[in-house]
Structure formats: C-alpha cells, structure tokens
Structure 1
Amino acid sequence: MYTRLTDHEQRLRRQVQHAESLVVCLARKEARLRNQEAAWEGERRVWIKRLQGANVADTNTGPVDTIRDLERTLALQTNAHAHVETQLAEVRAQSATADSAWRTQVRELELKLDSVSREHDKAMARLEEAHAMALQDAALQVRQAQKDQAKQDVYIRQLERQLKRLQDSAVAQEKDELQALGRQLEKRYV
C-alpha cells in the first residue's frame, strides 16, 4: 500500500517537473523572440534613419531608384517585423495556453496529492489505532496469562502440600502398621 502511494507521488512529482520544464522552455523561446524582435526593430530604425538622411548625391543611381530600393527594403523590413510580431503573438498565445494548461494540471496534481496524502494519513491513523489496540490486547493477554500462571503455581503448591501430607500420613500409617505388626509378632513369640 505504501509503495503504491510512493509510486503515485513520484509520478505526480515527475509530471510537475515536466510541466515546469515546459514553462521554462516556453519562457526561453519567448525571450529569444523578444530579442529577435528588438534586433528587427533596431534594424528598422537604422533603415529609417538611412532613408531620412540618405544623400542622393552619394549614390551612383538615380534618386528615384534609390528611394524605390529604400522603400522596398523598408517594406520588406516592415513585413518581416509584422511576421515576427505575428509569430511572437502566436508563441505568446501558445505559451499562455500551455501555462494555463500547466497551472490546471499542477492544481489537479496538487489536489490529487492532497487527497492521497489525506488518505495516507487516515490509513496511518487507522493502522496506528489498530496497532495500539493490538498492543493493549496483547498486554491484557499477557496479564491474564500471568494471573493464570500465578493461579496454577498456587494450585501446584497446594497439590504439593497435599501430596506431602498424604506421603507423611502414609509414612506415619505404615510406621504405625509396622509397629502394630511388630507388637503382634512380639506377643506371639513372647
């Protein structure tokens, strides 16, 4: 019984540890996405500054081509940023769902653990009560056996005294009979 409780508790602990490791993994992924988002944001700002401060005279292409290239690059960066934000939102939603599921599972496991613990405590209390009752019964049996032994000892001593009296009486009677027989023989021969 106790082995099953211990196995169950170990299984619950392993599930809790697994859930905790999933939460840590999701937190790491979220941190990586935040870092990536920050990097994209930094890159976007650099491109915006370049666009705002671009010197058309420094480029070999025409100003229209430069502006188109910069707009295209900015659009790509903006799309990439939006895509990363979408992914981040999805990961956050997954993380929230996993976190909620984990918390629910942890609550369920804690409730199960509490229930098993209460059952274990009740079983231990019943076992201790049964053990105490068995000890009391054994003590009563020992006391009764000691009383019975004492009574038997008294009875044996009484029987020994009676036997001694009977033996003494038999010896005295035999002695009396021998003396009487001896007197009869003396009277006959005298």
Structure 2
Amino acid sequence: MSEVVAVIDYGMGNLHSAGKALEKVASGQQIVITGDPDQVRAANRVVFPGVGAIRDCIAVLRETGLDRAILDVIAAGKPVLGICVGMQALMARSEENNGVDCLGVFGGQVTFFGELQNDTGGRLKVPHMGWNQVRQGMAHPMWAGIADNTRFYFVHSYCVTGLVDEEVAGRCDYGLSFAAAATRKNVFAVQFHPEKSADAGLTLLENFLRWQP
C-alpha cells in the first residue's frame, strides 16, 4: 500500500501548484489534497500550505477541526511541512489582523515587515517578493543536496521572529535577518514557496517525502 501525503485544503493556499510539485518528485506516494480532518490524521505525511490573511486561516482551521488534526499528526510523530502562511500558523501568535492566536507549535511571533526598520533605520518595503538567499542554520535532512545560500522564492509581508536558535533551520536577509525556515522534531516549516523555487524547491519537497524524523 502506497504512502499517503495529505496537502491540507482549507480554502486558501497554493494547493494545486504544491500538489503538482509534490507529484513531480513523489516516488510511489499518493498525493491527496483534502480538507477532511480524518484524512489528514490518517495520512503518513502532511503538507500545510497557505497564503492570505492569518485570521481567516486560523478561523477556518478551527471551524473545520483541521487545527486539531494538524496537532494530532504532529503529536503522532509524522512528518509535517508548513509553507508560507502554513509556517506562520504554526507559531504562537501573529500581529496581523490586530493580533491572532495561532497553533502554538513553535513559540515564535509573526511580525509585520512594514513596522520594522532595516539596518540603516529605513522602513522595509512590503511585501518582500522575489528570489532571496537562505542561510542554512543547521545540518538537516531537509537541506540534503541544497547548497547553503541557495535562492528561494518569497512573497510575504509578515515574518517570523522570536524563535530559539535551535529551532531556526534557515535565515534570510531583507534589510534585517528573519527566520526563513523553522524546525522541531518532526516539523519543518518554510516562509518561502518551494513549489515556485525551481530545482532547489523540488529538491526540498523530495527531501520531505524521504524524511524520517
């Protein structure tokens, strides 16, 4: 029986592009796009993508029970990959939409770029969009075959801050340094879009399909 990889569908996100990219690098795995919490729980691996406003994301997760399903999958030790807003939703809190409590898998906070200053005291332009280098913060199976300082594709106005050092898997510079990738145990999350990041992104997705935390 083939391994099932669930891509969480909560009504917002780059679901089909993420699903297609996963299918391209899958080796016998079945890629399923689903909004069914039971299907998510039953999957062998889970991808949690997302774009849009965090308030809407968290509201839909709670209304549908997908929030509990994600936490149950993580508690069960299955590999989980968060992408973009999927990464932000795994943090403790976001200041977007006047403040939103998130899933609390990580203790980090999600902060608006436009309220931050760069190293010379100027305001940062939002959104941060385009290709940017990611400095790997640790040796991790998810970085296998990906050189340090490889460029990935970003589109975001909010960034993760306040993670402990051992949870920062990668950093990016955009006027200041922010967490571009986070990890703890069986969870890996990235602010960039691997499905839009050419060969490096496909390599990261392939690594996720092979990862045995």
TM > 0.5 fold call: no
TM-score, scaled to structure 2: 0.17
Q: TM-score, normalised by structure 1?
A: 0.18
Structure number with larger C-alpha Rg: 1
Q: Which has the higher contact order (CA 8 A, sep 6+)?
A: 1
